[in-house]
Each structure stands twice: as C-alpha cells, then as structure tokens.
Structure 1
Amino acid sequence: MFERFTQGARDVVEGAVLYAELREAPTVTAEHLVLALLDAEGTKGAFVLRALGVAGQRDAVERDLAEARRRGGVSDADAEALAGLGVDVEAIVARAEQEHGAGALAGRKARRGRRRFGGHRPFARESKGVLETALKVAVGRGDRFIGDEHVLLALTARPGVPRDVLADRGASHDAVTRVLG
C-alpha cells in the first residue's frame, strides 16, 4: 500500500514515526499522524488545514491532544456525555493521578534501550486503521494514489480523539470534504 502514497503522505507517515520516537511512545498513534499533518507544507492536506484555520492553531491542537491523553483517551465530547450520566471524568483522572502519579492514565512510555523487531516503531491499531481508511477514501474518490488529504479525511471520519480535536478546531469531516471539493 505504501507505494501508492504521494510524497506528502509518505512525509506524514515518516513524521508520525518521528513524533512517536521523540515522545518515546511505544507505538505510532493517530495523534502522531495529526501532528505530522500539521507540519505539512505545499500539499492538499496542508492547504485544507490552512483554509480551515487549523494550521494556525497548532499549540491548541497539541494541548487538546495532550489533555485527552492525560484523561486516558477520553475526548471533550466523551467527557461531556459522561457528565450527562453523572460521571465526573476530571475527578476520576485526579484520583488516578493522586494514587499513581501525574499522567497515570496517559499510557506507558517505551522503555529506553528496548529493541524493536526490524528496528521499526510499530503502528498502533488505530493508526493502522487510519491508513486503511485513507486507502478506502482514495478509492471512493476515484484517486489512484493516497495523499495526505486522504489521511486527513480518514482522521476526520474515524471516531476518536483526533477526529474530535480536529472538529473542535474547525476541521470536521464535512468541512474538509467541502474544501477539497
């Protein structure tokens, strides 16, 4: 599948791997794909993010992703829905951090010095799903390649924190689709 990726899409995937390595994450996640997309320049995905005003909100996007990670992957929308059921996510997070330390729900970091099979950082199930969805989006649009715009469309189509964070910043699936035409 990777041979069908444009250079822009390859740069996003490679950038995501770099973000995972810099953060010592055990796997490459959809969050890393979002951050790498925000670095893109001169691509359709970069054009869309700039047109929707998301490119200028990088710090806010990173903050929102970090906060959701701190809450164990619970997005603002999920926290709101749970609050409607009487569940205080912030209280749960505070209690977990009180008992187990800051970032207790954020997940494990990769152990230093740990060798990976083939030297590659593995992709998490969610990020593999994003790339598979990008392929389906490209095929559905009649494209014979997978560009970073397809990765962006996949991120905005799949449920989860990346979709919610992007939508909160103006890059909903409908908005992205509209800009791409």
Structure 2
Amino acid sequence: MFERFTKDAREVVTGSVDHSERAGADSVTEEHLLLAMLDQEGTRTAFAFACLGIADRRGSVENALADARRRGGLSRADETALAGLGIDVDEIISKIEETHGAGALQVARRPKRRWSGHRAFSPSAKDLLVKSLRIAVGRGDRHVGGEHLLLALTARPGVVADVLAEHGATYEAVERAVFGGGATRAG
C-alpha cells in the first residue's frame, strides 16, 4: 500500500513516527499523524488547513489533543453522552487528579526501550491508512495523498476527528477545501 502514497503522504507517515518518538509514545497514533500533517507546507493538506483557519491555530489543536489525553482519551461525544446520563466528566477528572496527581488518567508510558528501527502503528492508525486508501480509490485517485489521510482522520469517529471538527475541519469542509466539489464519502 505504501507504494501508492505520494511524497507528502509518506512524509506524514515518517513525520508521525518522529512525533511519536519525541512524545515517548509506545506506538504511532492518529494524533501523531495529525501533528505531522500540521508540520507540512506547500501541500494540499497545508492548503486545506490554511483555508479552514487551522494553520494559524496549531496551538489550539495541540491543547485540545492534550486535554483529551488528560480525560483518558474520552472524546467530546463520549463526554456529552455521559453528561446525558448525569455524569460530570470534569468533576470526576478533578477528583481523580486531586487524589492521584495531574494527568492521572493519561495512558501510562512504559520505560524507554531500544527500538529495532521500526515503530509500531496503533491499530487505529493502521485502520486510518487503510481508510485513506479506500477514500482515494472511491474518488478515482490513483495515489494516496496527505489530503486522503486528512479526509480519513475526519471520517473516523474519535478524539482526533472531534478536535478537527471543533476547529472547522469536518469531512465535508476538508473535501470542499481540497477538491472544491460536493461531498462523496468513500468506504
């Protein structure tokens, strides 16, 4: 599949590995893929971020991702659903952090270990790469570009899609920014 990736899509993948290593994460996640996309300049993805006003709000995106990590990976949709049941997630997090310290709900990092030169991708990150291929094929595109990776991020429910949507990058908005046409969701 990787042979079908354009240069910018490959740079997203390799950049996500760098973000994962700098964060000390056990694997490459969708969040790392998004951060690598935000690093790019002169690509269709960078153009979409600029059109949607996200390029100038990288700090806000990073803060929203950090807030989601603080909430133990709960998305805003999860939080809203729990609120509908009368559960105040912020109150629970405050009490847990009061007892166990700040960031107590964040996924624990394992001690550093030697890497074999290959950093594993999380199952959701792997699924995202497959989804991007399906989107490209569904659009009739022969190659998978960064724009397909971004569309895949917005099409998959979860924290990253929530953060992007909060910043105006829904599937439809990204598709309009990149391709200029109507929405045709693939796969």
Task: Flag whether TM exceeds 0.5 (same fold).
Answer: yes
Bin of the TM-score, shorter chain as denominator length: over 0.9
What is aligned with 2:108? 108
Structure-1-length-normalised TM-score: 0.94
Calculate the aligned-residue CA RMSD, in Å. Answer: 1.2
What is aligned with 1:130? 128
What does the per-residue CA deviation read over 1:123-165, in whole Å, with 9 as the maximum and x for residues that have no partner?
A: 1111111111001001101111110000000000000011010
Identity %: 56
- Residue 90 of structure 1, CA deviation: 1.1
Structure-2-length-normalised TM-score: 0.91
- What is the CA–CA distance in structure 1 between the aligned matches of 2:110 and 2:168, rounded to whole Å? 33
What does the per-residue CA deviation read over 1:12-38, in whole Å, with 9 as the maximum and x for residues that have no partner?
A: 111111111001011111011111111
Q: Say which of 132, 146, 149 aligns to 1:151.
A: 149
What is aligned with 1:72? 72
- Residue 96 of structure 1, CA deviation: 2.4
**Could you list the runs of 5+ residues in structure 2 that have no partner in the other structure?**
181-187
Moved more, 76-85 or 55-64: 76-85
What is aligned with 2:185? none
Residue 48 of structure 1 contacts residue 176 of structure 1 at CA under 8 Å; is this kept in 2? yes
What is aligned with 1:27? 27
**Could you list the runs of 5+ residues in structure 1 that have no partner in the other structure?**
none
- Residue 94 of structure 1, CA deviation: 1.9
- What is the CA–CA distance in structure 2 between the aligned matches of 1:106 and 1:68, rounded to whole Å? 9
Which structure 1 residue ranges, 4+ long, deviate > 3 Å from structure 2? none
Instruction: Map 1:85-104 onto structure 2 (within 5 A).
Output: 85-104=85-104
- Supply the AA of the counterpart residue of 1:14: T
- Supply the AA of the counterpart residue of 1:150: H
Q: Alignment length, in residue pairs?
A: 179
- Residue 78 of structure 1, CA deviation: 2.3
- Residue 105 of structure 1, CA deviation: 1.4
- Residue 3 of structure 1, CA deviation: 1.0
What does the per-residue CA deviation read over 1:27-86, in whole Å, with 9 as the maximum and x for residues that have no partner?
A: 111011111111111111111111111111100000000000110111223212211210
